[in-house]
Amino acid sequence: MTAKLAEMTTLEAAQAADDGTVVVIPVGAFEQHGAGLPLATDQIRAEALADAVAEALPGKVVIGPGVPVGVSPHHQAFAGTVSLRPALFAAVVREYVESLAAHGWRRFLVVTGHGGNNATLGTLAQDLLRDRPDLEFAWTPVTVLAGDAVGAMELTPVSGHSGEAETAQMLHIAPHLVRHDLLDPGTTTPDQLDPFARLARSVRHPAVALPYDRLSPTGVLGDPRRATAEDGRAILAEATDRIVAFIKEWLDT
Amino acid sequence: MTAKLAEMTTLEAAQAADDGTVVVIPVGAFEQHGAGLPLATDQIRAEALADAVAEALPGKVVIGPGVPVGVSPHHQAFAGTVSLRPALFAAVVREYVESLAAHGWRRFLVVTGHGGNNATLGTLAQDLLRDRPDLEFAWTPVTVLAGDAVGAMELTPVSGHSGEAETAQMLHIAPHLVRHDLLDPGTTTPDQLDPFARLARSVRHPAVALPYDRLSPTGVLGDPRRATAEDGRAILAEATDRIVAFIKEWLDT
Amino acid sequence: MTAKLAEMTTLEAAQAADDGTVVVIPVGAFEQHGAGLPLATDQIRAEALADAVAEALPGKVVIGPGVPVGVSPHHQAFAGTVSLRPALFAAVVREYVESLAAHGWRRFLVVTGHGGNNATLGTLAQDLLRDRPDLEFAWTPVTVLAGDAVGAMELTPVSGHSGEAETAQMLHIAPHLVRHDLLDPGTTTPDQLDPFARLARSVRHPAVALPYDRLSPTGVLGDPRRATAEDGRAILAEATDRIVAFIKEWLDT
Amino acid sequence: MTAKLAEMTTLEAAQAADDGTVVVIPVGAFEQHGAGLPLATDQIRAEALADAVAEALPGKVVIGPGVPVGVSPHHQAFAGTVSLRPALFAAVVREYVESLAAHGWRRFLVVTGHGGNNATLGTLAQDLLRDRPDLEFAWTPVTVLAGDAVGAMELTPVSGHSGEAETAQMLHIAPHLVRHDLLDPGTTTPDQLDPFARLARSVRHPAVALPYDRLSPTGVLGDPRRATAEDGRAILAEATDRIVAFIKEWLDT
Amino acid sequence: MTAKLAEMTTLEAAQAADDGTVVVIPVGAFEQHGAGLPLATDQIRAEALADAVAEALPGKVVIGPGVPVGVSPHHQAFAGTVSLRPALFAAVVREYVESLAAHGWRRFLVVTGHGGNNATLGTLAQDLLRDRPDLEFAWTPVTVLAGDAVGAMELTPVSGHSGEAETAQMLHIAPHLVRHDLLDPGTTTPDQLDPFARLARSVRHPAVALPYDRLSPTGVLGDPRRATAEDGRAILAEATDRIVAFIKEWLDT
Amino acid sequence: MTAKLAEMTTLEAAQAADDGTVVVIPVGAFEQHGAGLPLATDQIRAEALADAVAEALPGKVVIGPGVPVGVSPHHQAFAGTVSLRPALFAAVVREYVESLAAHGWRRFLVVTGHGGNNATLGTLAQDLLRDRPDLEFAWTPVTVLAGDAVGAMELTPVSGHSGEAETAQMLHIAPHLVRHDLLDPGTTTPDQLDPFARLARSVRHPAVALPYDRLSPTGVLGDPRRATAEDGRAILAEATDRIVAFIKEWLDT
């Protein structure tokens, strides 16, 4: 049977709630990913991970409705980018959680393919802690779960958005959506950055949010040509394992 | 080339905006559809209609990000239903519109597979009229566009949600998601309703919103067994024609 | 005794709440009605209907506080128009309802003289369904309740705001506020409209909200000179009958 | 010609805006006024004052839409009371002001028959100072403008809501709405109060908001039997003079 | 032991809540005070008063967290001024109150060194009356509590912000923060005002909010050179006595 | 001259804005810190760091108004904790930033002594990026800047809130506020945690927010007895150096 709530009937949903399943909510972004990747890249990756987790944990997990648009003000200079304000994005996820909690679900895991959603998910977790102490709410980004797989790749000194790791995942998950011939390196070394951008990238804290058109004229950080589908498979596998292990332990608590 | 913005790159999106395309935004609901249809029924139908419109108008239309969850408080008693408040749903669609307007799009058509979103879309249209007079914003439900096709079907006296017309569409669009053996009649005649519900259904105005568990124990109004895939095809075709005609005329203004 | 809560004392109000009366809340607009009708036209008509209903149902109905300003962004180009945003208008009506519910009332009927409030009232009904399932909330426009009476009038092909039906009501209810010598036809045929406006008026769906200065230079749709006070009397009578019948049945449920 | 915008046409409103008139906005409350006075007492008094001012300053003043419900949480224990939250009341008045400012008006005077609106009007004035420095916004209560007339009355030691001064105004303005035989003294001396209420009434600051059911079982402070219509006439006259003088000077600046 | 919650541990706070202490919350402003006084003048005075009250009532009072920035749109033209909107300021104080109420406190007194916060505190008191009838909430300005001490000073005809009384308090409380050589008279007589400002200052009602750069080029009303530290001591002493008396009586209710 | 805006006059503030100074805004929390540390611990540490930075960069930095209460729902079970919701905390900091930007400042650095504010500051940075691209906004926690100094300390396996590093800072900055005799170890090893808490602490992602009463009965993680003032001095020095270097480079961009 499908793990996707979207494809279940209300009777099947009732059963899944009774079974104490964890609701996995894939969220992403609708934003530029350079000349080579589609706008939905982050949502596609989040859904692939959710699917892999559900497949590995049959009967333990349901996949809830996704949020196809995330918090992307830093990409707004690039055509096609659609963005929700943090407060709005949080409100949407919260309504999902509270609607499903009304049917009996108690455990929620948001998988975000877009790092720009992290801070908002952090604030939502705090609000839920205050208002819904009866629920357990967790969230996770995708790529950072795969430290080993990414570490095994050869990244350029500046790397990140639409770069090696992200392109690899798309080559594995949705190769038909990759414009292979348009995969070109973006900003790859600090000296290509203006001084303030370079400063901002050089330290984790103080933290500075920068618009991506200031970081790269094409919106790409890194060299996507270095990515392979095999890298992407390894990233997805490692991330899946990490979440599966987490959920298994969670269900035992 | 795809008409789906989600699958385009930012460069392709820039071209589509320059081309003066109309953005079609499919929105639906995540709500009970009886024992036979999946929770995402309304979103699936809206997307199918958007796809058909885009196919009929190549280069004239792009399909924007969807909203998979709508305004469904009246279905909340049934497991799996997820609902956004009207103000929240409106805010999400508005952010889509304003984000895309920043890239140059001026014309937006929201296709809603869920009638529960109509009022909210009406208020959004008013807010945009006030704040964004530079944009042209239209919205439409799905099934009501197909008056002839639905009129040709044999409906039960009480009919509607998860009934003949909606089931027909799903049989045509996504038959693999229909639980054919679970398609059972719900409330089909007024005498099955309690007095206040009967009163509410007997007139269009005064208008009364009722929870669906009060209207039908299974959440179904009508007899889905009467539906055929051919009926569904006819509904989709008529609705497509109506929208295509509208957009063609729109693009000439 | 008066049916107007505004004129009651708190002791009389307590009695009316105990009696299980329906609260009728007249709402309107504060907007242009062409050269011949006053800005408060919609509120005047709503109040007249509420009064007629109360008179026909002594002891069954109380008239609550009105909202003299409605949702009128489409008339903002005309001097004197005052408008509330949909969310604000909904919040005001909701506070009325919740305040009165705290005193024991359970049934509410909003009568709106202004169609521009319909969508907002629809969203309010949904929010109340979610948050206050203990209440019964209905709403209705005025003129659409009088299909027979309006159908008996000779309307111009384009007709509506400040046109035949609305003027007729004012001639009956408040003739001293009608500038009889300034009643001039506005836009009366589709060919007087620009192409997009003509498209928008030609179909119910897709629905488009348009500013009235684009529909008519004087803000009038139709020919108010065709209206008679007798038409207005008939419209009011039919609308009253419809609501009275509704409330009688309601009180029996 | 009428000074009431509600009764003007859009053309007349345009002229009045061009003439640089001051907009007077009467606001009140919808709240208990003891056994003898109607719920709309505060709005009735505010409108009477606005009318008197307009009559004294023909062509200088227009009367805008009123707000029939004010900020009355302290009266909520008494049946019939309807209340808006401060933020909501402020938003409504602000929308009035901004709508009318769009038509050219620059000067606004809110006359509040209800002291419970004072603080909210104070905050609105601050918000407008920040956001709309192009406008001039003033507000005033009613009774406090008539210090001499009230000072000439014989008040009980505790006096105020529904007491001598307020009853006097109603006897003058709307005697048909006064239940003369039900005018009974409420709380008239401090010893009738509980200790905390007595403390709260004994000083202006620290300021304490108290529910009126704690101040008086009937909701009345003072002895309304002492009031005469002549007192009411004097209060209204003095308040009118004060405002007229203010507006005259204002129009000269 | 300290009365400052900020300096207490959680165990000490628990004890203080159990003891039924009154929470005194000092709030101020962060705004221009002419050439001679610091931006934090109002907060400094509020804290000094809170400290004096706590010292006089050992074990009866705790001092809660302060709000160093208040509602100061009228000073925004002067560099360094920071301002919160009324709704935001109210929300902050409310969160303080509700957080502390969760720990058992029931009585709250906000001491505001800035008159610009008065209206907002008034609206907050109303909202709390509605939502938290279990709490007792009082608020007070500082200088107005010291009518005798201020009355004994020789004030200029126009006096107020950064004038004699305020400077006196700073000379007593924080003389090291006073730029003695820069204490110059600001606007001291009505004829220095423009006509509208003069009108606004001449009456209490109608009330008008004015930006301070319109009232005084230096932001000062009155002649601060007339102030002495002894005047300041007297003001603080009188205000302290008034609050102490209030709290003592409060604790007996 | 002081670097504290609070102690400056408006004229001095004008000069500082003209000089292109960076505004450092210290924010903290008002929350339990075990039996040994005061509620204001986080604000005290943030202010100490801001002071040290200002001292090291004379004329380059001003210290803006602080926010003494942060986002602390996870500590609400412990008496004395006061918390702002994320959206409210963000709104306060934003008003600070926008008020100061109106006076000419362009660069802002928020120093937060409380990690619970991090996510909110992250969302604020995104909102500012969208709405105020003319400003440069950075934020940083305190202790994480001092990786070397903390790494040199001997921490217990579970360590954090009110533990070694935090206590050390207080011993250095405000030893008179430390209850030395009450510094007791809290939770120091994973086996003292319940299974879900242990899981949550074992991984960085998926991230889970937990209430601190679930993590430690006394609210302490780690063994504060191991802390020395010298450790605290080293932490503060390292953090200061890091920020000073950042600001120097920033001012050169």
pLDDT digits (tens, 9 = 90+) for D162-218: 999 999 999 999 999 999 999 999 999 999 999 999 999 999 999 999 999 999 999
Count of CB pairs separated by less than 8 Å, A with B: 160
What is the rounded CA–CA span in Å between residue F167 and residue F34? 10
Interface chains of chain F (3 or more CB pairs under 8 Å): A, E
Q: At what angle do helices E118-131 and D118-131 cross, to 10 degrees?
A: 130
For residue E3, is it within any domain? no
What is the rounded CA–CA span in Å between residue B64 and residue B23? 6
D-chain CB neighbours of E241 within 8 Å are none
Determine the 3-state secondary structure of B30 from DSSP: strand
Interface chains of chain D (3 or more CB pairs under 8 Å): C, E
Torsion from C-alpha of C39, C45, C48, C50, nearest 10 degrees: -120
pLDDT per position as a tens digit, A137-188: 999 999 999 999 999 999 999 999 999 999 999 999 999 999 999 999 999 9
pLDDT for B175: 98
pLDDT for B137: 98
Whether the per-residue pLDDT at F131 is higher than 90: the answer is yes
Query: Which of F85, F126, F139 is the best residue to mutate to test the A interface, defined by the most A CB atoms within 10 Å of its own CB?
Result: F126
pLDDT per position as a tens digit, B162-195: 999 999 999 999 999 999 999 999 999 999 999 9
Query: Which of A120, A205, A246, A251 is the best residue to mutate to test the F interface, defined by the most F CB atoms within 10 Å of its own CB?
Result: A205
Do the Cβ atoms of C10 and D39 come within 8 Å? yes
pLDDT for C200: 95
Nearest to A207 among F140, F199, F207 (CB): F140
Domain with F222, as residue range(s), is 5-248
D-chain CB neighbours of E239 within 8 Å are none
pLDDT per position as a tens digit, C105-155: 999 999 999 999 999 999 999 999 999 999 999 999 999 999 999 999 999
Mean pLDDT of C71-78: 98
Mean pLDDT of E11-37: 98
Do the Cβ atoms of D68 and C65 come within 8 Å? yes
Whether the per-residue pLDDT at E1 is higher than 90: the answer is no
Nearest to B88 among A12, A81, A91 (CB): A91
**Cβ distance D219 to D130 under 8 Å?**
no
pLDDT for C217: 97
Task: Provide the mean pLDDT of chain D.
Answer: 97
Do the Cβ atoms of F9 and E34 come within 8 Å? yes
How distant is the alpha carbon of residue B2 from its chain centre? 22
pLDDT for F228: 98
For residue F209, is it within any domain? yes
DSSP letters for A159-185: --TTSHHHHHHHHHH-GGG--GGG---
For residue E249, is it within any domain? no
For residue A252, is it within any domain? no
pLDDT for A1: 73
For residue B65, is it within any domain? yes
**How far D12 CA sits from the closest chain E CA (Å)?**
27
What is the rounded CA–CA span in Å between residue A203 and residue A208? 9
Query: Which of D5, D8, D11 is the best residue to mutate to test the C interface, defined by the most C CB atoms within 10 Å of its own CB?
Result: D11
Do the Cβ atoms of C82 and D95 come within 8 Å? yes
Nearest to D7 among C34, C100, C177 (CB): C177
Nearest to A38 among B6, B68, B104 (CB): B6
Nearest Cα to Cα of residue A249 among F157, F73, F214, F208? F208
What is the rounded CA–CA span in Å between residue C8 and residue E224? 55
Residue of D nearest to C23 (CA): D80
- The CATH number assigned to the domain holding D93 equals 3.40.50.10310
For residue A185, is it within any domain? yes
The number of CA neighbours under 13 Å toward the Cβ of D228 is 7
Do the Cβ atoms of F80 and E35 come within 8 Å? no
D-chain CB neighbours of E139 within 8 Å are 205-207
What is the rounded CA–CA span in Å between residue C129 and residue B207? 13
Nearest Cα to Cα of residue D30 among D91, D63, D76? D76
> Tokens 């916060």 — which residue?
E117
pLDDT for F218: 97
Q: At what angle do helices C86-101 and C118-131 cross, to 10 degrees?
A: 50
What is the rounded CA–CA span in Å between residue C133 and residue A216? 53
Count of CB pairs separated by less than 8 Å, C with D: 160
Give B1's pLDDT tier (boundaries 50, 70, 90).
confident
For residue D205, is it within any domain? yes
Do the Cβ atoms of B99 and A88 come within 8 Å? no
What is the rounded CA–CA span in Å between residue F44 and residue F63? 14
Give F1's pLDDT tier (boundaries 50, 70, 90).
confident
What is the rounded CA–CA span in Å between residue B167 and residue B183? 9
D-chain CB neighbours of C66 within 8 Å are 68
Residue of F nearest to E90 (CA): F88
pLDDT for C1: 74
**Cβ distance D83 to D31 under 8 Å?**
yes
Do the Cβ atoms of D33 and C10 come within 8 Å? yes
Nearest to C207 among B129, B138, B209 (CB): B138
Do the Cβ atoms of E68 and F68 come within 8 Å? yes
Residue of D nearest to E124 (CA): D86
Query: Which of E126, E136, E142, E246 is the best residue to mutate to test the D interface, defined by the most D CB atoms within 10 Å of its own CB?
Result: E126
Nearest to A13 among B8, B65, B79 (CB): B79
**How far A100 CA sits from the closest chain B CA (Å)?**
6
Do the Cβ atoms of E84 and F102 come within 8 Å? no
Query: Which of F1, F11, F31, F120 is the best residue to mutate to test the E interface, defined by the most E CB atoms within 10 Å of its own CB?
Result: F11
Query: Which of F121, F208, F243, F248 is the best residue to mutate to test the A interface, defined by the most A CB atoms within 10 Å of its own CB?
Result: F208
Interface chains of chain E (3 or more CB pairs under 8 Å): D, F
Count CB atoms within 10 A of the CB of residue B186.
Answer: 25
Nearest to C79 among D13, D38, D81 (CB): D13
Do the Cβ atoms of E177 and F7 come within 8 Å? yes
According to DSSP, residue D67 is labeled B
Contact present, C and B (at least 3 Cβ pairs less than 8 Å): yes
F-chain CB neighbours of E113 within 8 Å are none
> What ipTM is given for this predicted complex?
0.97
pLDDT per position as a tens digit, B80-138: 999 999 999 999 999 999 999 999 999 999 999 999 999 999 999 999 999 999 999 99
For residue D236, is it within any domain? yes
Query: Which of D137, D201, D208 is the best residue to mutate to test the E interface, defined by the most E CB atoms within 10 Å of its own CB?
Result: D208
pLDDT per position as a tens digit, D81-134: 999 999 999 999 999 999 999 999 999 999 999 999 999 999 999 999 999 999
Do the Cβ atoms of A252 and F195 come within 8 Å? yes
Do the Cβ atoms of E126 and D74 come within 8 Å? yes
Do the Cβ atoms of F38 and E6 come within 8 Å? yes
According to DSSP, residue F21 is labeled P
Residue of C nearest to B214 (CA): C133
Do the Cβ atoms of E9 and F103 come within 8 Å? no
**How far D85 CA sits from the closest chain E CA (Å)?**
7
Q: How many domains does chain F have?
A: 1
Residue of F nearest to A115 (CA): F122
Whether the per-residue pLDDT at B71 is higher than 90: the answer is yes
**Cβ distance E17 to E104 under 8 Å?**
yes
pLDDT for A200: 95
Do the Cβ atoms of C203 and B242 come within 8 Å? yes
Do the Cβ atoms of F126 and A86 come within 8 Å? yes
pLDDT per position as a tens digit, E191-226: 999 999 999 999 999 999 999 999 999 999 999 999
**How far B216 CA sits from the closest chain A CA (Å)?**
14
What is the rounded CA–CA span in Å between residue C23 and residue D24? 30
pLDDT per position as a tens digit, B7-64: 999 999 999 999 999 999 999 999 999 999 999 999 999 999 999 999 999 999 999 9
Residues of F24-37 as b/e, b for ≥16 C-beta within 10 angstroms?
A: bbbbbbbbbbbbbb
Give E155's pLDDT tier (boundaries 50, 70, 90).
very high
pLDDT along chain A (253 residues), means of 10: 95 98 98 98 98 98 98 98 98 98 98 98 98 98 98 96 98 98 97 96 96 97 97 98 98 95
